Chain A
């Protein structure tokens, strides 16, 4: 009975759907998190009567065929890269990107990763690092005794050094853009790496060339909307139940067949 297996593919798909939704909900307070959604497609069809086949000797054609589908498959879990809302934190080294672009982070092995999480701090040498202690690129070192750290919308970092009254520019936080940012590979810790699907990274300066601008003392919240996720969760659960009902209905049909023989 094909319906049994068809419904099983449906249950498996909804199970994955719930996994994706629960990961979104789990990360609803994760800075710079981008939600995912499960994408489904129908499986191949069994063409019992193919459309266009000859229906009679007179050359009439079957106008509509009998096609029986085999269920559903998951094609991917694309990430929706929409902007998250900004929340004010008041922390000098919190930076949110409003628009396109990622911060570039240098890992301990020298490779680069990319993030939207702009909750930075300084390490023992005064260098700007991310929450895991990896260096923000290009490296900017903040002198120990400086005050009034300011990051402007173009990413320029400046401080007031003791004994002076005018700000000293320490450097500029660059942004990196990808043609297909949805194709980036998430590696956890709010970090992404480049993939063949994302295209090569293009570095640039915030507030120019279509890059977003930077907002100091702000963090970008996850772009997860709780209402959407919960309604998706309900829909997924009901779909799962319905597929389970199909299985029991198909089972009932089989049972009534086997009941015919006594």
Chain B
């Protein structure tokens, strides 16, 4: 009898967390390069007593547990911006970003130039090229980023392209292990081994929008709220029947 409440509670707790995940997806529907999250659940079987020579063996109760939030790495819609410093990644690669906490990875290709002439993300972290941060000179203009990441500029009066660097694009064997850090950044665990991506391409003048699908998220939200309400009703009716039982049993006939 007591287990019913606990099992229901385990589900309600995971549903609340699933709601948090849905809320975060929806909040980031306009975040450049954002990847939606999906929650996975698993069954958790309660441990039983080691001695099983009781009359009527210990039965296992199954609870629910949130196992993981999967990153949905599907590509987001690509929007033309005509901004020469916007790049959208076509493929499963990430840009490498230098932060004070170490190298981080991002799909957010809305780039800027800072006062030192470095190519930076919108939070001001340098984007890494093959030889570290990509630096422009004061006289550079007409920045061109080719599909393989090569950054060329026209320099001063010189009408010939000079190569500044090549934007690094890396990919991971198991991208699910990347950890979201906020600020559109991912960090990779110690075991992760970023590989230079050869298949991914950069598209200059485009940005990748968030891949959050509003229909999916709304449907999931309805599902979550209905399941939660159902459980509440169930727990409530359980409480009611317990009360009825107590009232009836305690009702001493006169």
Main secondary structure of the interface of B (DSSP, over half): mixed
Task: Please pick, from A182, A210, A238, the residue contacting B112 in the complex, using a CB distance under 8 A.
Answer: A182
Segment among B52-60, B94-102, B174-182 that sits at the interface with chain A: B174-182
Interface presence of A41 (CB below 8 A): yes
Q: Mark A202-219, 1 if CB is under 8 A from B, else 0.
A: 100000111000000000
Least Cβ–Cβ distance between B90 and chain A, in angstroms = 21
Size bracket, chain B contacts: 35 or more
Question: What is the minimal beta-carbon distance from B109 to any residue of chain A, in angstroms?
Answer: 11
Q: Is the CB of A65 closer than 8 A to any CB of chain B?
A: yes
Are B174 and A63 interface neighbours, CB within 8 A?
yes
Contact A260 B30, beta carbon cutoff 8 Å:
no
A82 and B83 within 8 A (CB)? yes
Is A2 within 8 A of B179, CB to CB?
Answer: no
B154 proximity list for chain A (CB < 8 A): 210
Pick from B43-51, B132-140, B194-202, B245-253 the stretch touching chain A. Answer: B132-140
Encode B64-104 as 1/0 by CB contact (under 8 A) with A: 00111110000000000111010000000000000000000
> Which residue on chain B has the smallest CB distance to residue A70?
B24
Quick one: CB contact mask for A76-92 with B, threshold 8 Å, 1 for yes? 10101110000000000
Chain B residues contacting A41 (CB-CB under 8 Å) are 31, 108, 122-123, 182-184
Q: Are B229 and A253 in contact (CB under 8 A)?
A: yes
Indicate if the CB atoms of B20 and A6 lie closer than 8 Å.
Answer: yes
**Which residues of B lie under 8 Å from residue A173 when comparing CB positions?**
none
* Residues of chain A lying within 8 A (CB to CB) of residue B233: 256
Contact pick for A71, options B27, B40, B157, B239, CB 8 Å: B27
Q: Is the CB of B123 within 8 A of A75?
A: yes
Residues 1-40 of chain A: 1 if any B CB is under 8 Å from the residue's CB, otherwise 0?
1111011011001100100000000000000000001111
Binding site for B on A (CB under 8 A): 1-4, 6-7, 9-10, 13-14, 17, 37-45, 47-52, 62-72, 75-76, 78, 80-82, 100, 177, 179-180, 182-183, 195-200, 202, 208-210, 235-236, 238-239, 242-243, 245-246, 249-250, 252-253, 256-257, 259-260, 262
